[in-house]
Chains A and B, each alone.
Chain A
Amino acid sequence: MTTLPLHLTVNGEVYDAFVSENATLLTLLRDVLGLTGTKEGCGAGECGACTVIMNGLPLNSCMVLALECEGAEIRTIESEYQNGQLSNLQQAFIEHNAFQCGFCTPGMIMSARALLEANPNPSRDDIKEAMEGNLCRCTGYDSIIAAIESVGVSAP
């Protein structure tokens, strides 16, 4: 398999890597860069477990070829924990018991982050609409909505 050079920024750090033509962004993150917080649930863009933010937009990293990310700015779950501090979303997920097995959680938090950046005060319906592509088999979603709502600007 031919490998080609790739230059991109992940979580604020610049990377130069050689990746094979058919490698996905998910493979690049997990297997090349060692950022294993991002998970693969289906490999087909159906479950959202591998959600990362690329140039400000959330996407399924299993559906993007690594070479499409030339020059891109990627943010993964690892970007949420800064200077030894959990982000507001991470704290809210713990506070509201918004995860059980935790496998969907990194993708959930990244989708929620992208939503809050686009809409700092989302309604329940906004959250359901934005998060529909992220599957969780454990929680029943209720607690995840509560966690995201609590981070919204109008939250008490």
Chain B
Amino acid sequence: MSEYHADSQEFRYIGKPVKRNDGPEKVTGTAVYAGDIVLSGMLHARLLTSPYAHARILSIDTLAAEALPGVRAVITGEHGSVKVGIYMQDKSVIATDTVRYQGEIVAAVAADTVEIAREAVSLIKVEYEPLEVLNDVREAVKPDALLLHPHLGTYAHSVGVFFPEPGSNIANHTRIRRGNMEEGFKQADLILENTFEQNQVLHVPLETHVTLVQWGVDDQIKIWSSGQSPFSVRDLFSIAFEIPRANIEVNIPFVGGGFGGKAGIHLEPLVALLSKAAGGRPVKLTPTREEECQTLPCRQGQVARIKTGCTKDGRIVAEQVEILWDAGAYADYGVNIGRASATSACGPYHIPNICVDAKTVYTNHLYGTAYRGFGHPEVFFAVERQRDLMAKELGMDPTEFRLKNLLYPGDETITGELITENTGSPDTCLKRAIELVGADVAYTEAEKAQMAASGKLRGKAAAVLQKAPAMPTWSASSALVQMNEDGSVRISVSGVDYGQGTYTILRQIAAERLKMPIEDVYINKSVITPLSPYDWQTVASRMTSICGMAVMEACDDLIKQIREIGGVALRASHHEVEFDNGEVYVRQNPHYRIAFGKIAMGYVYENGNAIGGPLIGRGKAIAQGLSNLDEHTGQGKAALDWTYGAHAVEIEVELATGDIEVLQMATVIDAGRVMNEQLLHGQIVGGALQGLGCTFSEVLLHDDQGRLLTRNFTDYKIPTFKDMPRTVYTDVVETPQLDGPYGARGAGEHPLISVTATVANALANATGVEFHDLPLSAWRVWTKLQEQKQQEQQQQESQE
């Protein structure tokens, strides 16, 4: 066991620069991802997908494909009609009689090689009858709109949590009501209404949803998946196929990015059916990038209408928000995005009179799912744009306006949760972000003259953000901390570390709790459901907080056993036993110590007598105290914890091209407690740049027939090295979370939220051009600048 030297500071490992533990395998290329796994007898799968956004399937002829040598299985909707889902079971494994988006799976082939499978797919003949396409969420929500899911009322879903409206395209309608809207707007001196729009965007994990399944004898199912949610895959698979959970083994090796898009269940049932049809041989499906773009789900689109009432002195008295979510063809996971967005629909502001309607609406677009931030990046584009526009109307500084209306201790959120001193501090985050980029410092006349001369206008702005984990009230984690023979420990959890650094932070927590050298704290780096303890899903920035609490409890359980067995070995009562640095001793006699290794598997006396046995700590944690929200008012406990934050930016707009460069960007998060600064910095910088991608270039475009135009990296651009802001600042506020491990709360998703609004506000400050939609691509900005110029000219001419 390596030597540990006690630190004089309060913590040994919490907040210390511990390096991530997956480095050597990731930098050498030896980390095994699902796509690297090869099994004996393994077949390769290819997909046939729909060329139409909406069509009836009249016939499918698979005879020629089946006859091709080397083809071992061909399946269609006939074999894959079972519905699988997490919140709203509206999607079958393979399209049956109708396709509802272009890219939807219509048939699949398993063959000896990828080439044979691809050729077989080309031999499948499908006859379609194209149907009317719902290409716009505003059309889809109209009462007389074509119904995409006429059987919505029969779909299994979480009752009392989601509220579908059968007979419409609304898969869920979450309402929040507080106060009295009529009275509220009566008190207002100024009412401002705006509509904000955002198209769908893609997650873009560098590794696609690779899936390998063997449907073995006696319905023993083995799955290897690039997924975020091993136990949800097991659970949902079990429900859909009526196979016992214990028969289903889900393996999650290293995962090449998720961003929410690999939460829930995806291709596992399809590949399982192929394996079954191929007589139980293992089948691997590696989706192409095009399939990842057009067949696997995206982030939902949004149209948000906000009507805000304000007094003259800048107090928000009423706000009405209607959010239409473009769920696309299916809303299985999507309904919870609508619900989450409703709980956050007014941002971290204290507003007495509230009316929120969030509707998850079916269209014939690619279907949406969880995406980093889960509804919030979209909502905060609308909310934080609206705040700047309102401040402008009031003639008030936007920061002053925000500070006046933010939530402070004693206030209640829109769902009726009390804000306390420990909830977090959005105002501190905002002020700090502004300070970092000097967003409150006005440009001098000389600077303005220089900008005018160069044709490059600069602008600054800031905005706040918030998010709570969006998850069921019962979402839980568990952890095992087992002692090895040498007294080191290994942690087992079923949260997946696809790069966030979860495993490193959990090691820090265990080392801190067990007061032992972190080099002696190991963690299993892959999850195997029959061996790993249960966890609901790796989502919602919940790993540090909930899984962290489970690891703490497991350590405490282990400590109890260490004291008990250590006490027997030391001939002392358990309460007299202390431990440190991997050794136990009696408190009053610290010089005589027994190494953990001596008690790890049982203590052996000199005469051979043995006591105890292998030491295993177990721990669990659940989202304590959450409640379902009232169907009519939305009141209830929606948030386990709120993480607040803010961004500030300075941008430069080139008038001749419309191109925007981010000169400075500051992101400040109230993380409760910084567990590992380098990892948190990595989350913030990465998340913020993903947010800039959504700001400048990332957008899914459909043609007038609802067919996706942006299906690859040529047409869908994510940020490159050259799209980084010139200067990036990150900082943290630490308002301890009372029920978080060492005060920590989640921060993985938050850096992405409000980036779009902050930049759009800065663009307005720089040029006067007000965007109510995205992206702020050069051509769209340039076009608006031209329109602005023409309007100014016309005004000038009419004055003359």
B254 pairs with A44, CB closer than 8 A: no
A102 pairs with B205, CB closer than 8 A: no
Produce 1/0 per residue, B236-262, CB < 8 A to A: 000000000000000000111111000
A37 pairs with B289, CB closer than 8 A: no
Chain A, 94-152, CB within 8 A of any chain B CB: 94-95, 97, 99-106, 109, 127-129, 131-145
B259 pairs with A44, CB closer than 8 A: no
What is the CA–CA distance of A35 and B147 in the complex, to the nearest angstrom?
51
Chain B interface extent, by class: 35 or more
Assess whether A36 is interfacial by the CB under 8 Å rule. yes
Kindly identify which residue among B204, B289, B686, B718 contacts A44, using a CB–CB cutoff of 8 Å: B289
Assess whether A61 is interfacial by the CB under 8 Å rule. no
Produce 1/0 per residue, B687-723, CB < 8 A to A: 1111000000000000000000000111000111110
The answer to whether residues A46 and B713 also contact, given A76-B29, A97-B20, A101-B256 and a CB cut-off of 8 A, is yes
The answer to whether residues A142 and B685 also contact, given A43-B288, A102-B254, A103-B257 and a CB cut-off of 8 A, is yes
A135 pairs with B206, CB closer than 8 A: yes
A139 pairs with B682, CB closer than 8 A: yes
What is the CA–CA distance of A47 and B714 in the complex, to the nearest angstrom?
10
Chain B, 89-135, CB within 8 A of any chain A CB: 115
What is the CA–CA distance of A44 and B208 in the complex, to the nearest angstrom?
14
The answer to whether residues A138 and B686 also contact, given A42-B713, A47-B713 and a CB cut-off of 8 A, is yes
What is the CA–CA distance of A133 and B28 in the complex, to the nearest angstrom?
20
A141 pairs with B682, CB closer than 8 A: no
Binds A, one of B30-38, B737-745, B759-767: B30-38
Chain B, 344-398, CB within 8 A of any chain A CB: none
What is the CA–CA distance of A95 and B498 in the complex, to the nearest angstrom?
18
Kindly identify which residue among A38, A39, A101 contacts B499, using a CB–CB cutoff of 8 Å: A101
Shortest A85–chain B CB gap in Å is 11
Kindly identify which residue among B27, B679, B690 contacts A137, using a CB–CB cutoff of 8 Å: B690
The answer to whether residues A93 and B721 also contact, given A39-B256, A101-B205 and a CB cut-off of 8 A, is no
Kindly identify which residue among A93, A103, A143 contacts B27, using a CB–CB cutoff of 8 Å: A93
Please, which residue of chain A has its CB at the minimum distance from the CB of B19? Answer: A94
Assess whether B724 is interfacial by the CB under 8 Å rule. yes
B29 pairs with A37, CB closer than 8 A: yes
Shortest B229–chain A CB gap in Å is 16
Assess whether A41 is interfacial by the CB under 8 Å rule. yes
Please, which residue of chain A has its CB at the minimum distance from the CB of B27? Answer: A90
Please, which residue of chain A has its CB at the minimum distance from the CB of B690? Answer: A137
B207 pairs with A41, CB closer than 8 A: yes
The residues of B that contact A80 with a CB separation of less than 8 Å are: 27-28
Assess whether B777 is interfacial by the CB under 8 Å rule. no
Shortest A98–chain B CB gap in Å is 9
Shortest A73–chain B CB gap in Å is 18
The answer to whether residues A140 and B685 also contact, given A39-B207, A145-B721 and a CB cut-off of 8 A, is yes
Assess whether A17 is interfacial by the CB under 8 Å rule. no
What is the CA–CA distance of A42 and B203 in the complex, to the nearest angstrom?
14
The answer to whether residues A94 and B255 also contact, given A46-B714, A100-B499 and a CB cut-off of 8 A, is no
Interface-centre pick from A80, A90, A101, A141 (highest chain B CB count, 10 A): A101
Please, which residue of chain B has its CB at the minimum distance from the CB of A35? Answer: B29
The residues of B that contact A100 with a CB separation of less than 8 Å are: 257, 498-501, 682, 686
What is the CA–CA distance of A88 and B279 in the complex, to the nearest angstrom?
49
Please, which residue of chain A has its CB at the minimum distance from the CB of B724? Answer: A141
Please, which residue of chain B has its CB at the minimum distance from the CB of A23? Answer: B115
B256 pairs with A142, CB closer than 8 A: no
Interface size of A by CB at 8 A reads 52
What is the CA–CA distance of A144 and B721 in the complex, to the nearest angstrom?
9
B28 pairs with A90, CB closer than 8 A: yes
Kindly identify which residue among A44, A101, A136 contacts B255, using a CB–CB cutoff of 8 Å: A101
What is the CA–CA distance of A145 and B689 in the complex, to the nearest angstrom?
15
What is the CA–CA distance of A56 and B286 in the complex, to the nearest angstrom?
30
What is the CA–CA distance of A81 and B24 in the complex, to the nearest angstrom?
10
Chain B, 27-62, CB within 8 A of any chain A CB: 27-33, 35-36
What is the CA–CA distance of A144 and B689 in the complex, to the nearest angstrom?
14
Kindly identify which residue among B31, B678, B688 contacts A97, using a CB–CB cutoff of 8 Å: B678
What is the CA–CA distance of A138 and B29 in the complex, to the nearest angstrom?
17
The residues of B that contact A155 with a CB separation of less than 8 Å are: none
The answer to whether residues A94 and B27 also contact, given A100-B686, A102-B256, A140-B689 and a CB cut-off of 8 A, is yes
A132 pairs with B206, CB closer than 8 A: no
The residues of B that contact A141 with a CB separation of less than 8 Å are: 689, 719-721, 724
Assess whether A4 is interfacial by the CB under 8 Å rule. no
A143 pairs with B685, CB closer than 8 A: yes
Shortest A33–chain B CB gap in Å is 13
Shortest B677–chain A CB gap in Å is 10
The residues of B that contact A94 with a CB separation of less than 8 Å are: 19-20, 23-24, 27
Secondary structure call for the A interface: loop
Assess whether A32 is interfacial by the CB under 8 Å rule. no
B27 pairs with A105, CB closer than 8 A: yes
Assess whether B728 is interfacial by the CB under 8 Å rule. yes
The residues of A that contact B29 with a CB separation of less than 8 Å are: 36-39, 76-78, 105-106
The residues of B that contact A44 with a CB separation of less than 8 Å are: 289, 712-714
What is the CA–CA distance of A134 and B514 in the complex, to the nearest angstrom?
41
Kindly identify which residue among B206, B500, B689 contacts A39, using a CB–CB cutoff of 8 Å: B206
The residues of B that contact A39 with a CB separation of less than 8 Å are: 29, 33, 35, 206-207, 256
Kindly identify which residue among A36, A42, A86, A135 contacts B720, using a CB–CB cutoff of 8 Å: A135
Please, which residue of chain A has its CB at the minimum distance from the CB of B683? Answer: A100
Shortest B6–chain A CB gap in Å is 26
Shortest A87–chain B CB gap in Å is 8
The residues of B that contact A104 with a CB separation of less than 8 Å are: 206
Assess whether B22 is interfacial by the CB under 8 Å rule. yes
Assess whether A49 is interfacial by the CB under 8 Å rule. yes
Chain A, 51-107, CB within 8 A of any chain B CB: 76-78, 80-81, 86, 89-90, 93-95, 97, 99-106
Assess whether B575 is interfacial by the CB under 8 Å rule. no
Please, which residue of chain A has its CB at the minimum distance from the CB of B36? Answer: A36
What is the CA–CA distance of A144 and B719 in the complex, to the nearest angstrom?
14
The residues of B that contact A1 with a CB separation of less than 8 Å are: 115
Chain A, 15-33, CB within 8 A of any chain B CB: none
B259 pairs with A137, CB closer than 8 A: yes
A103 pairs with B28, CB closer than 8 A: no
What is the CA–CA distance of A140 and B689 in the complex, to the nearest angstrom?
5
Shortest A74–chain B CB gap in Å is 14
B721 pairs with A102, CB closer than 8 A: no
The residues of B that contact A37 with a CB separation of less than 8 Å are: 28-30
Chain B, 204-222, CB within 8 A of any chain A CB: 204-207
Please, which residue of chain A has its CB at the minimum distance from the CB of B499? Answer: A100
Interface-centre pick from A42, A47, A128 (highest chain B CB count, 10 A): A42
The answer to whether residues A135 and B718 also contact, given A97-B20, A102-B22 and a CB cut-off of 8 A, is yes
- 20 A-B interface contacts by CB (under 8 A): A36-B35, A37-B29, A39-B33, A39-B35, A40-B35, A46-B714, A47-B289, A77-B29, A94-B20, A94-B24, A100-B498, A100-B682, A101-B207, A102-B25, A127-B721, A128-B722, A129-B722, A135-B206, A137-B257, A137-B690
The 9 residue pairs across chains A and B that have the minimum distance between CB atoms: A37-B29, A100-B499, A103-B256, A102-B26, A46-B713, A140-B685, A94-B23, A77-B29, A101-B499
Given A101-B257, A132-B720, A140-B686, 17 further pairs, Cβ under 8 A: A40-B35, A41-B207, A46-B713, A80-B28, A90-B28, A93-B23, A95-B19, A97-B678, A97-B679, A100-B257, A103-B206, A137-B204, A137-B718, A138-B682, A140-B685, A140-B724, A144-B721
